[in-house]
Amino acid sequence: MSEPRFGTAGLADSYPVKRFDPAAIAAYTAGFGLTAFEYQCGRGVRLAHDKARALGAACAARGIALSVHAPYYISMSSLEEDKRLNSIDYLLQSCALVKALGGRRVIFHSGSCGKQSREAALEKALDTMQRAVKACDDAGYGDCILCPETMGKVNQLGTLDEVLALCEVDRRITPCIDFGHLYARSLGIQFAEATAAADYAALLDTLQARLGDERAVQFHAHFSRIAYTKGGEKCHLTFADTDYGPPHAPLLALLKSRSLAPTIICESAGTQAEDAAELAKTYGSL
Protein backbone atom coordinates (compact mmCIF):
# COMPACT_ATOMS: atom_id res chain seq x y z
CA MET A 1 0.00 0.00 0.00
CA SER A 2 1.41 3.40 -0.95
CA GLU A 3 1.50 6.08 1.72
CA PRO A 4 1.51 9.89 1.69
CA ARG A 5 4.67 11.80 0.94
CA PHE A 6 5.50 14.74 3.19
CA GLY A 7 7.76 17.59 2.19
CA THR A 8 8.43 21.31 2.08
CA ALA A 9 7.81 24.31 -0.11
CA GLY A 10 11.37 25.51 -0.53
CA LEU A 11 13.86 25.55 2.33
CA ALA A 12 13.08 26.40 5.95
CA ASP A 13 14.91 29.09 7.91
CA SER A 14 16.98 26.40 9.64
CA TYR A 15 18.67 25.38 6.36
CA PRO A 16 22.31 26.39 6.96
CA VAL A 17 23.83 26.54 3.44
CA LYS A 18 23.69 29.89 1.62
CA ARG A 19 24.69 28.70 -1.86
CA PHE A 20 22.87 26.34 -4.24
CA ASP A 21 24.06 22.89 -3.16
CA PRO A 22 22.00 19.94 -4.47
CA ALA A 23 23.58 17.39 -2.12
CA ALA A 24 23.02 19.65 0.90
CA ILE A 25 19.38 20.29 -0.02
CA ALA A 26 18.71 16.57 -0.41
CA ALA A 27 20.52 15.69 2.84
CA TYR A 28 18.70 18.43 4.77
CA THR A 29 15.29 17.29 3.47
CA ALA A 30 16.00 13.62 4.13
CA GLY A 31 17.32 14.49 7.58
CA PHE A 32 13.79 15.45 8.62
CA GLY A 33 12.44 12.15 7.32
CA LEU A 34 10.79 13.86 4.34
CA THR A 35 10.20 12.38 0.89
CA ALA A 36 9.03 15.39 -1.15
CA PHE A 37 10.35 18.83 -2.07
CA GLU A 38 8.54 21.56 -4.01
CA TYR A 39 10.90 23.89 -5.86
CA GLN A 40 9.54 27.44 -5.74
CA CYS A 41 9.37 29.51 -8.93
CA GLY A 42 6.89 32.07 -7.65
CA ARG A 43 8.89 34.98 -9.05
CA GLY A 44 9.90 33.29 -12.28
CA VAL A 45 11.43 30.08 -13.63
CA ARG A 46 15.12 30.85 -13.18
CA LEU A 47 16.90 27.63 -12.22
CA ALA A 48 19.31 26.47 -14.94
CA HIS A 49 18.51 22.98 -16.20
CA ASP A 50 21.96 21.59 -15.43
CA LYS A 51 21.51 22.64 -11.80
CA ALA A 52 17.99 21.19 -11.86
CA ARG A 53 19.31 17.84 -13.08
CA ALA A 54 21.91 17.82 -10.29
CA LEU A 55 19.24 18.53 -7.68
CA GLY A 56 16.98 15.88 -9.19
CA ALA A 57 19.73 13.26 -9.03
CA ALA A 58 20.63 14.12 -5.43
CA CYS A 59 16.99 13.92 -4.34
CA ALA A 60 16.27 10.74 -6.31
CA ALA A 61 19.15 9.02 -4.51
CA ARG A 62 17.34 9.71 -1.22
CA GLY A 63 13.83 8.85 -2.43
CA ILE A 64 12.65 12.47 -2.54
CA ALA A 65 10.04 13.34 -5.19
CA LEU A 66 10.24 16.81 -6.73
CA SER A 67 7.52 19.17 -7.91
CA VAL A 68 7.54 22.79 -9.11
CA HIS A 69 5.41 25.73 -8.02
CA ALA A 70 4.85 27.84 -11.13
CA PRO A 71 5.10 31.68 -11.11
CA TYR A 72 2.53 33.52 -9.00
CA TYR A 73 1.63 35.87 -11.84
CA ILE A 74 -0.19 33.21 -13.83
CA SER A 75 -3.74 34.37 -14.56
CA MET A 76 -5.81 31.85 -16.47
CA SER A 77 -8.89 34.04 -16.03
CA SER A 78 -7.51 37.47 -17.00
CA LEU A 79 -9.68 39.81 -19.05
CA GLU A 80 -6.57 40.42 -21.19
CA GLU A 81 -5.86 37.65 -23.67
CA ASP A 82 -2.12 38.42 -23.66
CA LYS A 83 -1.97 37.62 -19.96
CA ARG A 84 -3.80 34.35 -20.50
CA LEU A 85 -1.39 33.39 -23.29
CA ASN A 86 1.61 34.39 -21.15
CA SER A 87 0.21 32.16 -18.43
CA ILE A 88 0.41 29.18 -20.76
CA ASP A 89 4.05 30.07 -21.50
CA TYR A 90 4.85 30.18 -17.76
CA LEU A 91 3.33 26.71 -17.41
CA LEU A 92 5.48 25.45 -20.29
CA GLN A 93 8.60 26.90 -18.64
CA SER A 94 7.61 25.19 -15.39
CA CYS A 95 7.05 21.88 -17.19
CA ALA A 96 10.51 22.10 -18.76
CA LEU A 97 12.01 22.65 -15.33
CA VAL A 98 10.10 19.89 -13.57
CA LYS A 99 11.24 17.43 -16.26
CA ALA A 100 14.85 18.53 -15.71
CA LEU A 101 14.31 17.90 -11.99
CA GLY A 102 12.98 14.43 -12.73
CA GLY A 103 9.50 15.27 -11.42
CA ARG A 104 6.09 15.59 -13.04
CA ARG A 105 3.84 17.91 -11.00
CA VAL A 106 3.50 21.64 -11.70
CA ILE A 107 1.39 23.54 -9.16
CA PHE A 108 -0.14 26.88 -10.12
CA HIS A 109 -2.59 29.59 -9.06
CA SER A 110 -5.32 30.06 -11.66
CA GLY A 111 -5.92 33.78 -11.08
CA SER A 112 -8.55 36.11 -9.67
CA CYS A 113 -12.07 37.08 -10.65
CA GLY A 114 -11.23 40.79 -10.90
CA LYS A 115 -14.15 42.85 -12.24
CA GLN A 116 -15.98 39.89 -13.76
CA SER A 117 -18.33 37.35 -12.25
CA ARG A 118 -16.98 34.08 -10.89
CA GLU A 119 -18.78 32.29 -13.71
CA ALA A 120 -17.11 34.43 -16.39
CA ALA A 121 -13.71 34.06 -14.75
CA LEU A 122 -14.07 30.27 -14.61
CA GLU A 123 -15.18 30.15 -18.25
CA LYS A 124 -12.00 31.97 -19.30
CA ALA A 125 -9.86 29.76 -17.07
CA LEU A 126 -11.39 26.59 -18.55
CA ASP A 127 -10.59 27.81 -22.06
CA THR A 128 -7.01 28.66 -21.02
CA MET A 129 -6.70 25.26 -19.34
CA GLN A 130 -7.72 23.49 -22.55
CA ARG A 131 -5.16 25.51 -24.50
CA ALA A 132 -2.49 24.78 -21.89
CA VAL A 133 -3.04 21.03 -22.13
CA LYS A 134 -2.69 21.19 -25.93
CA ALA A 135 0.42 23.38 -25.64
CA CYS A 136 1.99 20.90 -23.22
CA ASP A 137 1.25 18.01 -25.56
CA ASP A 138 2.66 19.91 -28.55
CA ALA A 139 5.82 20.79 -26.63
CA GLY A 140 6.46 17.20 -25.53
CA TYR A 141 5.31 17.70 -21.94
CA GLY A 142 2.32 15.38 -22.11
CA ASP A 143 3.62 13.40 -19.14
CA CYS A 144 3.59 16.46 -16.88
CA ILE A 145 0.78 16.83 -14.35
CA LEU A 146 -0.74 20.31 -14.02
CA CYS A 147 -2.13 20.97 -10.53
CA PRO A 148 -4.47 23.96 -10.06
CA GLU A 149 -4.48 25.08 -6.43
CA THR A 150 -7.35 26.01 -4.14
CA MET A 151 -6.83 29.64 -3.11
CA GLY A 152 -7.09 31.58 0.13
CA LYS A 153 -8.50 35.00 -0.80
CA VAL A 154 -12.24 35.34 -1.34
CA ASN A 155 -11.89 37.11 -4.72
CA GLN A 156 -9.42 34.58 -6.12
CA LEU A 157 -10.51 31.85 -8.51
CA GLY A 158 -9.89 28.68 -6.55
CA THR A 159 -12.80 27.27 -4.59
CA LEU A 160 -12.82 23.48 -4.42
CA ASP A 161 -15.57 23.36 -7.07
CA GLU A 162 -13.65 25.69 -9.39
CA VAL A 163 -10.45 23.68 -9.07
CA LEU A 164 -12.29 20.42 -9.74
CA ALA A 165 -13.92 21.99 -12.82
CA LEU A 166 -10.42 22.73 -14.15
CA CYS A 167 -9.38 19.14 -13.35
CA GLU A 168 -12.28 17.84 -15.46
CA VAL A 169 -10.71 19.39 -18.58
CA ASP A 170 -8.29 16.44 -18.79
CA ARG A 171 -7.69 13.29 -16.72
CA ARG A 172 -4.06 14.29 -16.15
CA ILE A 173 -4.98 17.48 -14.30
CA THR A 174 -4.74 16.82 -10.56
CA PRO A 175 -5.97 19.13 -7.80
CA CYS A 176 -3.65 20.82 -5.35
CA ILE A 177 -5.80 21.02 -2.23
CA ASP A 178 -4.44 23.79 -0.01
CA PHE A 179 -6.24 23.12 3.26
CA GLY A 180 -5.03 26.34 4.86
CA HIS A 181 -6.32 28.35 1.91
CA LEU A 182 -9.77 26.76 2.13
CA TYR A 183 -9.84 27.41 5.88
CA ALA A 184 -8.89 31.08 5.32
CA ARG A 185 -11.34 31.77 2.48
CA SER A 186 -14.14 30.32 4.62
CA LEU A 187 -13.06 32.76 7.37
CA GLY A 188 -12.22 29.86 9.67
CA ILE A 189 -15.52 28.02 9.30
CA GLN A 190 -14.32 25.11 7.14
CA PHE A 191 -11.89 22.86 9.08
CA ALA A 192 -12.57 24.66 12.37
CA GLU A 193 -11.40 22.58 15.32
CA ALA A 194 -14.88 21.34 16.24
CA THR A 195 -15.90 20.26 12.74
CA ALA A 196 -12.54 19.50 11.12
CA ALA A 197 -12.94 15.71 10.93
CA ALA A 198 -16.35 15.96 9.27
CA ASP A 199 -15.18 18.75 6.93
CA TYR A 200 -12.11 16.81 5.84
CA ALA A 201 -14.23 13.71 5.25
CA ALA A 202 -16.69 15.70 3.12
CA LEU A 203 -13.86 17.11 1.01
CA LEU A 204 -12.32 13.68 0.44
CA ASP A 205 -15.77 12.34 -0.47
CA THR A 206 -16.14 15.16 -3.02
CA LEU A 207 -12.78 14.33 -4.61
CA GLN A 208 -13.85 10.72 -5.04
CA ALA A 209 -17.27 11.66 -6.43
CA ARG A 210 -16.00 14.29 -8.86
CA LEU A 211 -12.77 12.66 -10.03
CA GLY A 212 -13.42 8.97 -9.41
CA ASP A 213 -9.87 7.85 -10.20
CA GLU A 214 -6.33 7.81 -8.80
CA ARG A 215 -6.32 11.61 -8.58
CA ALA A 216 -8.64 11.30 -5.57
CA VAL A 217 -6.07 9.01 -3.93
CA GLN A 218 -2.77 10.60 -4.94
CA PHE A 219 -3.78 14.25 -5.09
CA HIS A 220 -1.36 17.08 -4.32
CA ALA A 221 -1.80 19.14 -1.16
CA HIS A 222 -0.43 22.13 0.71
CA PHE A 223 -0.77 22.45 4.47
CA SER A 224 -0.10 25.26 6.94
CA ARG A 225 -1.93 27.29 9.53
CA ILE A 226 -3.12 30.58 8.02
CA ALA A 227 -4.37 33.83 9.54
CA TYR A 228 -7.25 35.55 7.76
CA THR A 229 -9.24 38.79 7.55
CA LYS A 230 -12.66 39.41 6.01
CA GLY A 231 -11.05 39.10 2.57
CA GLY A 232 -9.63 35.67 3.34
CA GLU A 233 -5.94 34.74 3.61
CA LYS A 234 -3.69 37.20 5.45
CA CYS A 235 -0.45 35.29 6.08
CA HIS A 236 1.01 31.85 6.66
CA LEU A 237 1.84 30.86 10.23
CA THR A 238 3.74 28.05 11.97
CA PHE A 239 2.34 25.04 13.81
CA ALA A 240 3.23 26.85 17.05
CA ASP A 241 0.72 29.61 16.14
CA THR A 242 -2.46 27.92 17.35
CA ASP A 243 -4.80 30.93 17.29
CA TYR A 244 -5.68 29.93 13.73
CA GLY A 245 -6.21 26.58 11.99
CA PRO A 246 -6.61 24.27 10.37
CA PRO A 247 -5.64 21.32 12.62
CA HIS A 248 -3.69 18.53 10.95
CA ALA A 249 -4.36 15.45 13.09
CA PRO A 250 -7.97 14.81 11.91
CA LEU A 251 -6.88 14.97 8.26
CA LEU A 252 -4.00 12.56 8.74
CA ALA A 253 -6.26 10.08 10.55
CA LEU A 254 -8.63 10.08 7.57
CA LEU A 255 -5.81 9.63 5.07
CA LYS A 256 -4.66 6.61 7.06
CA SER A 257 -8.10 5.02 7.48
CA ARG A 258 -8.95 5.53 3.79
CA SER A 259 -5.53 4.39 2.49
CA LEU A 260 -5.01 7.67 0.62
CA ALA A 261 -1.54 8.67 -0.56
CA PRO A 262 -1.35 12.38 -1.44
CA THR A 263 1.82 14.43 -1.58
CA ILE A 264 1.53 16.96 1.26
CA ILE A 265 3.78 20.00 1.04
CA CYS A 266 4.12 22.09 4.20
CA GLU A 267 4.08 25.85 3.65
CA SER A 268 4.58 27.04 7.22
CA ALA A 269 6.29 30.43 7.59
CA GLY A 270 9.96 29.54 8.00
CA THR A 271 9.44 26.27 9.88
CA GLN A 272 8.20 24.20 6.97
CA ALA A 273 10.79 21.43 7.46
CA GLU A 274 10.12 21.11 11.18
CA ASP A 275 6.34 21.23 10.68
CA ALA A 276 6.44 18.78 7.75
CA ALA A 277 8.38 16.42 10.02
CA GLU A 278 5.58 16.83 12.57
CA LEU A 279 3.04 15.84 9.90
CA ALA A 280 5.09 12.76 9.02
CA LYS A 281 5.58 11.85 12.69
CA THR A 282 1.88 12.21 13.47
CA TYR A 283 0.91 10.09 10.45
CA GLY A 284 3.49 7.44 11.38
CA SER A 285 2.13 7.19 14.92
CA LEU A 286 -1.41 6.37 13.78
Separation CA 160–CA 199 (nearest Å): 13
Computed on alpha carbons and rounded to an integer, the radius of gyration of the chain in Å comes to 18
The whole-angstrom separation of Cα 42 and Cα 30 is 24
Q: How far is CA 193 from the centre of its chain?
A: 23
Question: What's the pLDDT at 172?
Answer: 95
Distances (CA, A) of 185 to 18, 51, 202, 233, 280: 35, 37, 17, 6, 26
Instruction: Sketch out the chain's domains with CATH numbers.
Output: 5-285 (3.20.20.150)
Task: Indicate the helix (H) or strand (E) that contains 206.
Answer: helix 196-211
Query: What is the reported pTM?
Result: 0.97
H or E element that contains 31: helix 22-31
Low-confidence ranges of the chain (pLDDT < 70): 1
Cβ contact 108:74 at 8 Å = yes
What is the pLDDT at residue 1?
61
Spatial distance between the Cα atoms of 264 and 8, rounded to a whole number of angstroms: 8
